[in-house]
Structure 1
Amino acid sequence: MHYLDFLTRVHTRLAPTTYLEIGVRNGRSLALARCRAVGIDPAYSIRAELDGDFALFRTTSDEYFARPEPLAATGGVPFELAFIDGLHLFEFALRDFVFAERHSSARGMVFFDDMLPRTVDEAARERHTQAWTGDVFGVLQVLERYRPDLVVVPLDTVPTGLLAVVGLDPDNTVIDDNFTEILAEFRHPDPQPVPAEVLDRSSVVSPGRFLEAEVLELLASRAGDVTAADLRGPLRELVAERLGAAFVGMPV
């Protein structure tokens, strides 16, 4: 399944009231939103038709989230769906996740694009191929190590995979607190040490199976003010039953 087809179904079934996109480019994925949507990109060039409630910011995510009120564009309502597709470098993608989670609802979810490079060359920090994911794949390893409270599911979408992250906790500061140490361990010079299971997609879930697991329906059924602690148990139980215990991390 192409990632845009998958995200179309996510928007429909989750029906978020607020949406965040970091890395807008031509607007094809942003155009899927049917709610108040915030798009951040210092060099966007919109080619898709945007018909809805959009707020576009021609700036970097660092600059945007340094504002006194990053949620001013949504009237203070936290994001319920976020798509991270900005600069394809590990440290920027990880920092974008910190920003997104901090300003999201606990019942929200975050998707990363370009999580499953098909070759080591495609995963290089210094781009030298037409198709390019960069070293964003390292985010998966960081979340598994530092955030076992999250549900993290790599998805076998075309062309280069997505990563679904649910069970968000806006108050969690573990990654931010350890950011320097994380970069020292997980950021590598080219060629990148891409794990074999990433290249051969041996530990991923098909997008159809993820949709059938009814994770979206569980999140959509919860009130906007649900807490991470209240949602964690039902969410982990559902994912373990429908997708396998490997995707829910260690008990917390």
Structure 2
Amino acid sequence: MKRHEFLRELHKVSGNRNYLEIGVNDGRSLKLSRVPTIAVDPAFKVVTEIRCDVHLVKATSDDFFARDNPLVHLKGGRHPVRNLRRGRSPLGYWRRAVLDLSFIDGMHLFEYALRDFMNIERHSDWTSVIVFDDVLPRNVDEAARDRHTGAWTGDVYKIAEILGRYRPDLLSVLVDSRPTGQLVVFGANPRNRVLRDRYDEIVAAYEVPDPQKVPEAILDRVGAVAPEVLVGAGFWRALRRARALGLGRSRGWEPLRAAVEGVVGSRL
């Protein structure tokens, strides 16, 4: 399954009510959305028909997230919430917009992708689905930080190891989509500050000159799940239901994690 085919299926099975895309380019992935959408790229050149309510932002992702209330397009960003016990919307009671599905395909250097994740996670929760593109380079040349090939993943592949090391509370699933794989992350926690607090440490540890020493497991796609298996799994129904019911992390995350691990682990 190709990357855009996989992303199309994620739009279906995740039941996302909104969508954020970092890195628009010509709009081939953006055209898959049918929900309120924000798409960010400092130099987009959309050449395809877009069929959703979209806010195209011509800016770097760092600058976008530095804005006051960047998700305002998604039904107001912050909006009054009805007090269920009293049946009214009390003045000053607000809820931030929560991102349901996000796609990170911006600058192909791990530190940029990591910052994108950190910013997205602040606007997500445990029912959110966050996808990194280009995490399975096919050779060392594609993985170079200094681009010198046509197809280029950069060193975004390092994100899987970084999240596994610094954020074991998350569940990250490598997906063997063509041509250069994806990483799907479940269990976002906007209160977790580990990546923000240790960002400089992470960059110092993982930023090394070319040629990159890409692990054989990455090149051989060890542990990567077939995209058809992931999108065809039964846990998506539970995720959609939990989101619709507004279940808190304490009630819903561990059962979902176990369900996803059951599907992924059975295919390794």
* CA distances 1:182-221 after superposition (whole Å, capped 9, x unpaired): 0111121111111110001122100011122233322211
Asked if the contact 2:171/2:257 (under 8 Å) is kept, the reply is yes
* CA distances 1:124-150 after superposition (whole Å, capped 9, x unpaired): 000001110000001111100011111
Structure 1 equivalent of residue 251 of structure 2: 230
Cα distance in structure 1, aligned partners of 2:199 and 2:266: 28
Asked if the contact 1:239/1:245 (under 8 Å) is kept, the reply is no
Structure 2 equivalent of residue 93 of structure 1: 113
Matches within 5 A, 1:1-252: 1-74=1-74, 75-76=76-77, 77-223=97-243, 225-244=246-265
Structure 1 residue 67: deviation in Å? 0.7
Aligned AA for 2:22? I
Asked if the contact 1:240/1:246 (under 8 Å) is kept, the reply is no
Structure showing greater relative contact order (alpha-carbon pairs closer than 8 Å, 6 or more residues apart): 1
Cα distance in structure 1, aligned partners of 2:235 and 2:108: 27
Aligned AA for 1:237? A
Cα distance in structure 2, aligned partners of 1:139 and 1:229: 26
Cα distance in structure 2, aligned partners of 1:216 and 1:195: 31
Cα pair distance change 1:215/1:26, threshold 3 Å:
farther
User: Any stretches of 5+ residues in structure 2 without a counterpart?
Assistant: 78-96
Cα pair distance change 1:149/1:15, threshold 3 Å:
same
Cα distance in structure 2, aligned partners of 1:243 and 1:109: 16
Asked if the contact 2:225/2:267 (under 8 Å) is kept, the reply is no
Cα distance in structure 1, aligned partners of 2:147 and 2:10: 30
Identical aligned residues as a percent: 45
Cα distance in structure 1, aligned partners of 2:204 and 2:235: 34
Cα distance in structure 2, aligned partners of 1:192 and 1:152: 22
* CA distances 1:64-114 after superposition (whole Å, capped 9, x unpaired): 000111121111221100000000001000000001111123211100000
Aligned AA for 1:188? V
Alignment length (residue pairs):
247
Question: What is the CA RMSD across the aligned residues, in angstroms?
Answer: 1.5
Asked if the contact 1:88/1:135 (under 8 Å) is kept, the reply is yes
Cα distance in structure 2, aligned partners of 1:190 and 1:175: 24
Aligned AA for 1:203? G
User: Any stretches of 5+ residues in structure 1 without a counterpart?
Assistant: 248-252
| Secondary structure, aligned partner of 1:133 | coil
Asked if the contact 1:147/1:174 (under 8 Å) is kept, the reply is yes
Aligned AA for 2:17? T
Asked if the contact 1:167/1:231 (under 8 Å) is kept, the reply is no
Structure 1 residue 246: deviation in Å? 11
TM-score (ref. length: structure 2):
0.89
Cα distance in structure 1, aligned partners of 2:71 and 2:267: 34
Asked if the contact 1:122/1:133 (under 8 Å) is kept, the reply is yes
| Secondary structure, aligned partner of 2:132 | strand
Aligned AA for 1:152? S
TM-score (ref. length: structure 1):
0.94
| Secondary structure, aligned partner of 1:72 | coil
